[in-house]
Every structure is written in C-alpha cells, then in structure tokens.
Amino acid sequence: MNVEITRLSSGLTVVTETMPHLESVALGVWIKSGSRNETQDEHGIAHLLEHMAFKGTKRRSARDIAEEIENVGGELNAATSTETTSYYARVLKDHVPLAVDILADILTESEFDEEELRREKHVILQEIGAANDTPDDVIFDRFSEIAFKGQTIGRPILGTPETVNGFTPGQIRNYLSRNYTTDRMFVVAAGAVDHASFCRQVEERFATLPLMPSAPPVLETARYLGGDVREERDLMDAQVLIGFEGKAYHMRDFYCSQILANILGGGMSSRLFQEVREHRGLCYSVYAFHWGFSDTGIFGIHAATGGDDLPKLMPVVIDELHKASETIHQQEIDRARAQIRAQLLMGQESPAARAGQIARQMMLYGRPIPNNEMMERLEGITTERLTDLAGRLFFDTVPTLSAVGPIEQLAPMADIAAALSSPNVETKKAAG
C-alpha cells in the first residue's frame, strides 16, 4: 500500500494513497459520528445536517457550490449512516485544491439559513414518505427498531416528520460543534494526489474546525433485545427479515460471521440462493448479511416472496440454518475467501472505493489494514469455527423478525422461535 498518514497539530488526521497511473482523485471528509450520536430530542438531525451543509456558506450559495464543482467536471455528495457521516468529491487531479476548499467551506462556514432550512425540511419529509412507501426500506427500519427497542441505534436515520419539522439552526450548530471535532474527523484522498501538498491544503482550509472536547461524548451501549414486528400491506410480494445479534467490528468472530453470511446467502452459489430460489422456486430474492457496529452487530436473512409461499419458505430457511450449524465444507470457505479477496482487489482499482475503505479502517481500527493482513485473518477460519459460530448465532440468541406485505400466512413468532431454540432439526416443522 502506498498510504501515508499525517496527524495535524489540530488533531485532524489526513490520509492519502497515491495511485500515479490515474488522472483523478477521490477525496472526502469522514466523521466518526452518525445518527447514533444524536440525543433523544435530535432524532434525524445528523441526516438533516448532511443536507444543510450544501445549502450555502458565508462565501457560496447552494447554487455556487453545485456549479463550482460541476464547472470542472467534478462530483460532490454526502451520506449519513448509524455511526459515521461522509462528505466526498471526485475531481481531476488539477482541481483537488478546489474540492478541498469546497469541502472545508461547507463543513466550517455553513450558514444554516432559515429559508433554506424550511425548504430542506420539506425535501426530507418527501424522502421519509418515499422510504415509508418502499417495503425494502421499511422492513429494515422496523427490524432495527424492534431489535434495539427504545435505543438511539435502533431509530431510523431519517428521523420522523415531527422531529425534522421541529429542528432549528441552533440545534444543528450544537450537534455539529459537539460531533464534528478534529479528533473524530479523517480527511482521505486516493488517486493522483501528492501527500505533502494535500496536507498543506487541508491544514490551511480546515483550521477553524472545533478541537477535541475535554469530555468526548460517550455512546449509549447497545442492548440487543430481539422481537417480532409485522405490517400487513396490500402488496404483490411479502418481505421477510429474520436476524440475530451479530458481532462488533473488534470481536474475534467478526470475520467469521462475514464468511458465514457469504456461505449462507452471499451470491448465486450460496446455500440459500441455491436451495430456496433455484431448487424450490420459493422466492425471487434471498440473501444473508452481517453488519458490524462498534459494540454489536446484526446477522440477517432477507427474502422477498409471494404471500402464499411463506408457509414453505420459512421452514426451508430455518433448515438451512440448522445445516450450517452441523456441516460447513472447506470448498465453501475457499469460495467465500476468493470472493472477498476479489472484492478487495477490485476496490483498489477504484479511487472512490479505496478512499472509503481507508476511511472506514481508520475510524474502526486506527490504521489502514493491508490486504494480505486481511486475508491472513480469513485464513484462520476453519469449518469447526463456522459450525460453532452458527450454533451460537442461530440457536443461543433471541431472533428478531420483521415482515411487510401479504403476510397472513407467516407462522407465529412462537413457532419460529421454537424451531430455532435447539439444534435438533425435528423442531423445524413447527415453523411451517
């Protein structure tokens, strides 16, 4: 890796990876703060701030921001997640100073004008409405809300119409000054970038960022609870998501969980895809995933099917979970590792993907992780470790179920939980 790291005197961390064969640079600012860092009365403010950052500064109007970056053929965007927020750009190498200037401007000099805020609230209300009309979004929001009931980590990132409508410019500034501090921010660039020059530009333009507070905010520890939430809707298909408490990024079984998710439902050759979709034709979409957070995680299986197929679908899915706790083949591990390795190497060919990967690793581990080190961690995963993990994940934790659509034929949660309460496959029949 041609990666260089500099920690500026302000506490801001600058990281670059030079890719000299390119003519472009992907760069951005990643903040170790997201919707989970909101207080009880700030639900949705992290996402609102991300929008408002583009709505005008002391030197630029919202239109100026858009035109200046697009006048040079560049792109500018942002994203908010549960634990992070990012603002990023991609430009030709000659326009890196402009991109740095715009990113610094929107993060240090935003006006949060009342009229712009009013308009942007309306835009976000439409976004919330669109999400509520999209079953694929609804099912994941409901899942998090019940799995982490009553906790900030379980709340939808967008907020609610009531909370969004109530925010003031002062509240946005308070959230920003509390969370956008130099100790939690990483400026990363990948592509045709010179590290020393980039550091000078960042140091000059980001000089007014808030410094590390004397008492950094402390996150509420996540408590996975599990549960059952169902929403009958007049739809063509039923969306079902069953999941369990996964592993945090720093836990020993994190990478093992990633491999297990890949084997179960990570592609067309995975167990669930082959058995549920190809062999039985019970759904048009089925996959498994594992999401890690700083202190917990989610391991889930999502399927979309016709309501009439639900009585057959759930027993087959649960049967595959039982089988995973009994037998994993070395060939499956090798295939999963090959897929992860390919993703890592392909990501290195994209400066945007590489910048994002470096930023995430800096926030999670405090350093970039070389690909060979990542693969070494995966090499230590054995069939025995995977079957042991599957047994603990699927049968020793409380499941969470969320379902949306024509779900009247979905088995009661008590029956599904009973089928998951023991590794004995005889109990799986109860889930039908």
- The catalytic residue positions are 50
Tokens of 354: 């590489």
- CA dist 314 and 298 (Å) reads 19
- CA dist 421 and 423 (Å) reads 7
Burial (CB < 10 A; 0-12, 13-18, 19+), residue 424, is exposed
Question: Nearest CA to 324 among 280, 376, 266?
Answer: 266
8 Å CB contact between 78 and 86: yes
Tokens of 40: 């009880």
The CA-CA-CA angle for residues 230, 233, 236, to 5°, reads: 120
Burial 299-331 (b: 16+ CB within 10 A, else e): bbbbbbbbbebbebbbbbbbbbbbbbbeebeee
8 Å CB contact between 405 and 239: yes
The CA-CA-CA angle for residues 329, 254, 336, to 5°, reads: 35
Q: What's the alpha-carbon Rg for the chain, to the nearest Å?
A: 23
Tokens of 200: 């000078």
- CA dist 232 and 242 (Å) reads 17
Letter for the amino acid at 178? R
- Contacts by 352-357, CB closer than 8 A, 24 or more apart: 352/26, 352/88, 352/90, 352/190, 354/17, 354/19, 354/26, 354/190, 355/17, 355/26, 355/27, 355/28, 355/88, 355/188, 355/189, 355/190, 355/191, 356/28, 356/30, 356/86, 356/88
Strands (E), 42-198: 75-80, 85-92, 185-191
DSSP bridge partners of 255: none
- CA dist 38 and 20 (Å) reads 40
Helix 383-395 and helix 254-265, axial crossing angle in degrees, nearest 10:
90
Place of tokens 């706790």: 325
